[in-house]
Amino acid sequence: MAQEKVVATRVDISNADPATIDLIVQAQEADAFDHQLTIRQALSKYKKAVFWAMILSTSLVMEGFDLVTINSFYGQSQFKERFGQIQPDGTKVITASWQSILSNMSAIGQLTGLCVNMWAQDRFGARQTMMFFMVWMAAAIFILVFAPNLPVMAVGEVICGISWGVFQTLSTSYASEVVPTVLRAYVTAFVCMCWGLGILLSSAVIRGVVDVKGDWGWRLPFCLQWIWPVPLFFVAYFAPESPWNAVRRNKPELARQSLVRLRDTRNTTDRDIDSTLAYITHVTNLEKAETAGSSILECFKGINLRRTEINCVVWAAQILCGNAILGYSVTFLQRAGFSEIQSFNLNISLSCCYLIGGVISWFLMARSGRSTLYMSGLAFMFCCLVAIGALGFRDDKKANLAIGILLVISTLCNMSTVGPVCYPIVAETPSGRLRYKTITIGRFVYNVTGIFNNSVTPRMIQPTAWNWGAKCALFYAGTNLLCLIWCWFRLPETKGRAFGEIDLLFENHVSARKFKYTKADQFAQTSEDVNAIDFDKKMEISHIDHSHPTTVNASLSV
């Protein structure tokens, strides 16, 4: 496809003061340097930033841990004995309605947490928000551990879910803002791997307590969640703030301190820090002109509506692609004919795919674009779901074994493509000033979709309800296909794009299919190129005090 070009008339510098010119010159330097970085160079220069992005992302381990814990309990003998309802044949089960309630209470709490974080992170920053909700989480775990009945446990899930909702968007946005463009996909994909690590740990713990008698068989997994809040509280305390967040809160000195802490001081000069801060300030001011006030309503106006749509659908497709079945893998496998021990063992194998797939995704993302991987993963999972659904019409050991194998393959595919690739997409597509709000809206849609999933999937699987068994995979094959069709027409390619370039492409209404092939010049000028500034102004720049860069208010136009 022939390459097109879009340019932005940023600001007329013909009569600009030296400080304004210097800001733009430094912003250009930072942008050029960012595009020239290789992965090896970026890891060397920004290894501290990578460390902080990854260590704060481990907060998602707790959410992944609880997700599988509570869903696995529906097939655990000790939990069913304590909270199950007696059936006509004398056995006890957690009914489909209570399965939906418990799983949905967590989702409702997460919706609340998302709304809280949308306000808190903009007002207080990532560090203070995380510290507060780590304390919240440590207190909330008591409710789950000592719940005397299912209603109290449901309340505990709501309260714990609030903190998980905060961590969901905070970790993704922080990781995307502290590293250069070339590393953004890897650190945001690591967020998904942390979620998968929580699932793996939970699966292993649930398998480990299978022979523990009495209430401690289900209480012990909840107790293990106390491992995380205290150390992560101190991690957040010592972590540098996001420089983008600091600039948006009008704290340039805090942003400068963060930039110094996020880089290798041996390979960093004051000019490097100044130019990066100038770029952040330049882009933030341009976005501020486009999104004055930055209220949540701005996410649904003009070009931001398209960016919000992408976030919402990409998040929702995480469930609708067929991943919904994997959250109920234990009960799903038992309905397919596996014993309790066999289902827990295979569940561990499924959980390992989250980590293995995450590592594979790093190699894939280095070679392929975001949208290419996302759509390829959807297409492959569609085929797996159709096969699983077809096998659901048979009831023999060979069919059950095939279902187990296909679940493992489907999970590995999901966690190599759709799962981790979602995170860089949702981090890159919003505008900077609306990033937290847009990601929050998208994650809100994800959790609402999760409520739908938690309401219908148990009923599809359970023999006391709709009794579809493995045939429910055909339902999610249909939703998967709808997501795939949407991606072809609406999902743009953002690989290798700086935040300013992505802004420009959206502002020029470049179609999703042309995103990859369109060149974006975000520093075009109205009268002359910055490089052609007259000699006298260049001499004035050399005498400017760079310790306090001056911002410039400008608007974007084509």
User: How many residues appear in the chain?
Assistant: 558
Q: Which domain holds residue 327?
A: 37-239+291-496
Percentage above 70 pLDDT, the chain: 86
> How does DSSP classify residue 433?
G
**Any idea what the CATH number is for the domain that residue 466 is in?**
1.20.1250.20
Is pLDDT larger for residue 466 or for residue 9?
466
In single-letter form, the type of residue at position 76 comes to Q
Q: What local confidence, expressed as pLDDT, does residue 84 receive?
A: 86
How does residue 10 score in pLDDT terms, banded at 50, 70 and 90? very low
List, in sequence order, every residue forming a beta bridge with 85; answer none if it has no partner: 93
187 occurs within a structural domain: yes
Residue 61 lies in a domain: yes
What pLDDT does 27 receive? 78
Cα dihedral across residues 482, 484, 490, 494: positive or negative: positive
User: Is residue 425 scored above 80 in pLDDT?
Assistant: yes
Quick one: pLDDT band at residue 119, thresholds 50, 70, 90? confident
- For residue range 437-468, what is the model confidence (pLDDT) as tens digits? 898 899 889 888 988 887 888 788 777 678 78
Closest CA to 458 of 38, 75, 199: 75
Distance CA 330, CA 27 (A): 53
- For 85, list phi and psi in degrees, rounded to 5: -100, 135
User: How much of the chain exceeds pLDDT 90, in percent?
Assistant: 26
Tell whether the model's pLDDT for residue 505 goes beyond 80: yes
490, pLDDT greater than 90 = yes
User: What tens digit of pLDDT does each residue of 204-226 get?
Assistant: 888 888 888 888 988 998 898 89
Of the pLDDT bands very low, low, confident and very high (cuts 50, 70, 90), residue 336 is: low
Q: Work out the pLDDT band at 335, boundaries 50, 70, 90.
A: low
Q: Structural domain tally of the chain?
A: 1
What count of other Cβ atoms lies within 10 Å of the Cβ of residue 475?
Answer: 19
- What's the pLDDT at 107? 81
At residue 527 the predicted structure's pLDDT band, cuts being 50, 70 and 90, is very low
Q: By the 8 A CB rule, do 85 and 95 touch? A: yes
> Is 21 part of any domain?
no
Within a domain: residue 506?
no
pLDDT of 332 reads 66
Per-residue H/E/C for 310-340: HHHHHHHHHHHCCHHHHCCHHHHHHHCCCCH
> Is 557 contained in some domain?
no
Highest mean pLDDT among 27-31, 429-433, 530-534: 429-433
Q: Is the pLDDT of residue 543 over 50?
A: no
| Residue 223 located in a structural domain | yes
Highest mean pLDDT range out of 217-231, 461-475, 540-554?
217-231
Give domain status of residue 235, yes or no: yes
466 found inside a domain: yes
Residue 24 in tokens:
């733009």
Whether the per-residue pLDDT at 17 is higher than 70: the answer is: no
pTM of the model: 0.73
| Alpha carbon distance 153, 158 (integer Å) | 9
CA 122 to chain CA mean position, Å: 18
The phi, psi pair for 86, rounded to 5°, reads -70, 130
Note the pLDDT of residue 159: 93
Output the average pLDDT for the chain: 82
